[in-house]
């Protein structure tokens, strides 16, 4: 059962990655050029039909997968690179530094990511970059917290005490003992964070705060579909389904990894 | 001549006084047993002696050098010559490190290397693995591939790696199966004898302490209530507490 969860997650995530990579090499039709074949229903040769500007929907979905991966990787990467060391520092040093870091994290956590994105878009203009920055900044606290919680657990263990008794420096303890033991936690958080980033990116694009036209992103496609909602509801299905499946995939992957990597569960087996 | 000395050492955790004004001297080559019930302050005392915690008042000295209150970077002399074997090898060995790196960890610290005359890590690893009777190919494996008794041997090998003068063992067999306890105890006894180590042995098991240690202190509620040669203390206990501890040792009636 647990294994099935992980496998379904892997398949869905694999599909998104495949689509994204494929879009770099090939798309059935030009994903940007406007044609007169407007609003064709699913069929041949346009498998999923065409949108209001006569562009092949399947081609646009493939490009959308690429952007959702780029946004996910960079925003989660930024959040992890900033959040994990902060959390480890807070957990290892404790005291006022810990208190300060966690309170700042609370404040950032309480600040709506959407509002942050709107502020950034107002200041720097709407682009993929501002969307990634907003999502990344908003996700830092999640990484800092999980890293801190894991660090506190590791620091309390006897092997860290033994490392101190062996004269290992703080850096050595952080690199050799703390990080390898919290890495699985961070990996799980990254997968779940990836799902949240995809959803957030779609929301931002839908609102016109993310990647600008004519680049097709899933969120922007959803917005375009809204114009023909009453006559062609199937237009909203494709980007909606893509978002839902990608988010589901990364969530299942995260959950599945948590179960596989949890040493307590492994010990039982 | 004393190698390890505590002067009026006290330590509180919140409102709870874990240690109240302990005075203790351990001579070079002495084998000291530390007994007492849970919560008596045994582990707190050895952490202070090992410089892993700071006393609220009082001082700790090692080899005429003060330990308490010193920053970690100046404690290389202590780290190279005093090592600890912890109670439970399941938590004292990092599950994500190979046995070889676990054992050589004390040899890799710059502070410790300054004190040692450049021990060759590979060679020393082989030596200590042989000393604790583990196969030479253990170095490339992970702790979870070993049994409890073998894991404690790994912990002992790590403690011996920097050629320490003083070995502290904190209930080293209480987490192990009864069947392997005797082996580990005998191994410790042999190593202490052969390497001429000064031993501090914390235990609940009075029979083992009597077998292994030449002297003993009895702790209760953060104080030393009785001390002396182990034969003396066990045969003629002075305090009711020691008598009670001794009476609690299970014996087979013949």
Q: What CATH number does residue A128 fall under?
A: 1.10.3720.10
Q: Which helix (H) or strand (E) holds B6?
A: strand B2-13
When comparing pLDDT for B73 and B34, which is higher? B34
Residue A153 to residue A178: CA distance in whole angstroms: 9
Q: Which residues constitute the domain of residue A217?
A: 2-31+53-261
Q: Does residue A210 contact residue A164 with C-beta atoms inside 8 Å?
A: no
Tell me if A67 is assigned to some domain. Answer: yes
CATH match for B74-163 among 3.40.50.300, 1.10.3720.10, 3.40.920.10, 3.40.1000.10: 3.40.50.300
Q: What is the Rg, in whole angstroms, of the alpha carbon atoms belonging to chain A?
A: 22
Give the model confidence (pLDDT) of A212-229 as tens digits: 888 889 999 999 888 888
Residue B183 to residue A190: CA distance in whole angstroms: 46
For residue B38, is pLDDT > 80?
yes
Q: Does residue B201 contact residue B34 with C-beta atoms inside 8 Å?
A: yes
A139/B contact by beta carbon, under 8 A: no
* Residue A268 confidence class, pLDDT cut points 50, 70, 90: very low
Tell me if A46 is assigned to some domain. Answer: no
Tell me if A242 is assigned to some domain. Answer: yes
For the residues of B116-144, what is the DSSP string, one character each? Answer: TT---HHHHHHHHHHHTT--GGGGGS-GG
Chain A contacts of B83, Cβ < 8 Å?
Answer: 165-166
Q: Does residue B63 contact residue B147 with C-beta atoms inside 8 Å?
A: no
Tell me if A36 is assigned to some domain. Answer: no
Tell me if A267 is assigned to some domain. Answer: no
A3 is written with which tokens?
């294994």
A172/B contact by beta carbon, under 8 A: yes
Give the model confidence (pLDDT) of A115-166 as tens digits: 888 888 889 988 899 999 999 999 999 999 999 999 999 999 999 999 999 9
Please, which residues bridge with residue A50 across strands? A56
Report the Cα A184 to chain-centroid distance in Å: 17
* Residue A52 confidence class, pLDDT cut points 50, 70, 90: confident
Count the residues in chain A: 269
Tell me if A39 is assigned to some domain. Answer: no
Tell me if A121 is assigned to some domain. Answer: yes
For residue A21, is pLDDT > 80?
yes
A263/B contact by beta carbon, under 8 A: yes
Residue B90 to residue B49: CA distance in whole angstroms: 23
Question: Residue B163: left (phi > 0), alpha (psi -120 to 50), or beta?
Answer: left
SS3 of residue B156 by DSSP: helix
Would the pTM of this model clear 0.95, i.e. be above it? no
How many other β-carbons are positioned within 10 Å of the β-carbon of residue B226?
Answer: 20
Chain A contacts of B105, Cβ < 8 Å?
Answer: 162-163, 166, 168, 176
Tell me if A19 is assigned to some domain. Answer: yes
Q: Does residue A164 contact residue A173 with C-beta atoms inside 8 Å?
A: yes
> For chain A, how many structural domains are there in total?
1
The ipTM of this complex is 0.90
Among B92, B107, B121, the residue to mutate for chain A (most A Cβ within 10 A):
B92
């Amino acid at each position: 059962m647990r294994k099935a969860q992980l496998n379904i997650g892997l398949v869905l995530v694999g599909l998104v990655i495949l689509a994204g990579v494929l879009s770099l090499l090939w798309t059935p039709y030009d994903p940007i050029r406007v044609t007169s074949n407007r609003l064709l229903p699913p069929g041949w040769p346009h498998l999923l039909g065409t949108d209001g500007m006569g562009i092949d929907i399947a081609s646009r979905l493939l490009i959308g997968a690429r952007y959702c991966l780029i946004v996910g990787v960079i925003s989660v990467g930024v959040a992890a690179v900033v959040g994990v060391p902060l959390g480890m520092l807070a957990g290892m040093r404790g005291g006022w530094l810990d208190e300060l870091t966690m309170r700042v994290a609370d404040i950032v956590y309480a600040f709506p990511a959407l509002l942050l994105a709107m502020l950034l878009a107002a200041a720097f203009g709407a682009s993929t970059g501002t969307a990634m920055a907003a999502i990344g900044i908003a996700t830092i606290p999640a990484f800092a917290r999980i890293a801190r919680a894991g660090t506190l657990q590791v620091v309390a263990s006897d092997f860290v005490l033994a490392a101190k008794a062996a004269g290992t420096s703080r850096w050595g303890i952080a690199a050799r003992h703390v990080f390898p033991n919290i890495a699985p936690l961070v990996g799980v958080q990254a997968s779940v964070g990836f799902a949240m980033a995809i959803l957030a990116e779609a929301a931002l694009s839908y609102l016109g705060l993310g990647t600008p036209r004519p680049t097709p992103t899933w969120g922007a496609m959803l917005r375009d579909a809204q114009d023909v909602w009453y006559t062609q509801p199937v237009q909203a299905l494709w980007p909606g389904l893509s978002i839902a499946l990608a988010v589901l995939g990364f969530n299942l992957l995260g959950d599945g990894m948590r179960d596989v990597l949890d040493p307590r569960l492994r010990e039982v087996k | 001549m004393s190698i390890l000395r505590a002067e009026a050492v006290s330590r509180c955790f919140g409102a709870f006084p874990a240690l109240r004004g302990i005075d203790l001297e351990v001579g070079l080559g002495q084998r000291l047993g530390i007994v007492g019930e849970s919560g008596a302050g045994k582990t707190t005392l050895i952490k202070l002696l090992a410089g892993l915690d700071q006393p609220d008042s009082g001082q700790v000295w090692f080899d005429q050098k003060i330990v308490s209150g010193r920053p970690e970077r100046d404690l290389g002399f202590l780290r190279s010559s005093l090592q600890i074997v912890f109670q439970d090898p399941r938590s004292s060995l990092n599950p994500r490190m190979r046995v070889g790196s676990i054992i050589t960890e004390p040899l890799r610290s710059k502070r410790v290397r300054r004190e040692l005359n450049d021990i060759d890590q590979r060679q020393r690893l082989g030596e200590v693995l042989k000393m604790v009777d583990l196969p030479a190919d253990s170095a490339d494996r992970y702790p979870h591939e070993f049994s409890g008794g073998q894991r404690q041997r790994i912990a002992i090998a790590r403690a011996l790696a920097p050629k320490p003068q003083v070995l502290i063992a904190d209930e080293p067999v209480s987490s192990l199966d009864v069947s392997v306890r005797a082996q580990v105890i005998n191994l410790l006894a042999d190593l202490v004898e052969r390497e001429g180590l000064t031993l501090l042995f914390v235990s609940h098991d009075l029979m083992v302490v009597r077998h292994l240690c030449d002297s003993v202190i009895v702790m209760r509620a953060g104080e030393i209530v009785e001390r002396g040669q182990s034969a003396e203390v066990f045969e003629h206990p002075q305090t009711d507490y020691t008598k009670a501890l001794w009476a609690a040792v299970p014996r087979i009636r013949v």
